Amino acid sequence: MGLFYNYNESGRGIAKNGPKKKPFFKFWEQFAGKFWKLITLNFVYFVTSGLAFIVAGFLASVQTENFNFLLISFPVIILFGPATAAASQVVRKFTLEKPIFMMDEYKTAFKKNFKQALPVGIFDVFFISAFLYGIMFYGEALDRDPSIKNYVMIIISTAIAAYFLMAHFYIYLEIVSLTLPLGKIIKNALLLTVMGIKVNIISFVVWVALILLIVFLLPYSIFALPVLPFGWLFFLCAFNSYPVIQKYIINPFYEAQGLKNPELPEEDAADEKIFTDRGGTEEVIKKKTNIKTSGKVIK
């Protein structure tokens, strides 16, 4: 900090090829650096994805006891997919530590990926609706008939929903980063869900914990939705899942062509170096005290 820093002394610089930070510490460093931007992203996503329409329709329906107001949420069918792809592109750039103008990046990604993200978003809306209906249906069925069959159906439905959610850690990131047909993107996502199971479990647990927290705190949690938690959750998914996409899809593509993935950190070739970065190897310079020098004698 400038208040306590001694400008008469110099420490070591930052080594270019120094030890890499562990993912846990790197995540929190990036998260802290993008904290306010993630809140801004959350608000933009909340409005442009149609979630604001859902909340407005829900609140109007509760207040008037007329659930026809839920029709206000209809735009979410069209907006949800492209908005999720746009948010995924922004957090992907955040995790890659690429400088961007967030609003411009969001708008461009929304338009560019609209065609592929639209059908995915429509499917998502209907799948989530069917899952919620299924949970309520089998919950009522258990009250009437607590048989093993109904328990099995709930377990199967929950397992499918869990796999579906983890596959989405990859689908939208693939849409914004790859030029593949949608069918191949979905196929990759289903495979990557298994191949990256360790990080997927971390993301899944955090997602479920925050969703349950929002549900338990209803209706008060509704008023927090414009600022959190979507930006945070998308960032977590990009941080955990995009390296898996790079490892199994992007890097092998470039390696097959004898090229290096341009998204990876740059490393200078030995024969192209003109100057050597000696950051972290300098001598520590400290202020010397009581220094005496010769001087001219005045006659």
Please count the other Cβ atoms lying within 10 Å of the Cβ belonging to residue 121. 24
pLDDT at 106: 96
Q: Give the closest residue to 164 by CA, choosing from 214, 127, 109.
A: 127
CA 195, chain centre distance (Å): 19
pLDDT at 140: 77
Cα–Cα distance for residue pair 72/58, rounded to 1 Å: 9
Cα–Cα distance for residue pair 247/253, rounded to 1 Å: 10
Give the residue, 267 or 25, on which the prediction is more confident: 25
Please name the residue that has the structure tokens 């290096």: 260
295 has a pLDDT exceeding 70: no
Strand pairing partners for 10? 285
pLDDT at 149: 78
Q: What is the model's pTM?
A: 0.79
pLDDT tens for 70-83 read 788 888 899 999 99
- Kindly give the interhelix angle for 76-95 and 102-112, rounded to the nearest 10 degrees: 130
pLDDT at 20: 72
Question: Average pLDDT of the chain?
Answer: 82
Where are the chain's structural domains? 24-266
